Amino acid sequence: MNELLFFAICFVVMALCLIFRLVKGPTIADRAITADCMEILADMALVLFALFSGRGIYLDIALVTALLGFIGSVIVARYLEGRL
């Protein structure tokens, strides 16, 4: 239980750092990378919550959001390259 609380606090600190970069990011690419990192943090939070609650449905949700995040990252990268 204490380990989950420790990791939850770590995720909050990392999310605050990422929010700073999302707001201050000098380029659109920095903001896209930050959004991708925040999506990964949200997936990891879902995995931790699945461990905490003992329900596997949150793992399925984390898997779906990870796949959607990957597809979104590819689309943003292609748009920034000008191939979309």
Q: Spell out the domain ranges in the chain.
A: 2-81
What mean pLDDT is reported for the chain?
90
CA 10 from chain centre, in angstroms, equals 14
Answer yes or no: are the C-beta atoms of 44 and 60 closer than 8 Å.
no
Q: What is the pLDDT of residue 60?
A: 95
What are the pLDDT digits (tens) for 21-37?
989 888 888 999 999 99
Structure confidence by residue, pLDDT tens digits, 36-81: 999 999 999 999 989 889 999 999 999 999 999 999 999 999 998 9
pTM of the model: 0.82
Structural tokens at position 25: 């990011």
The per-residue pLDDT for 12 is 87
CA distance 36 to 69: 7
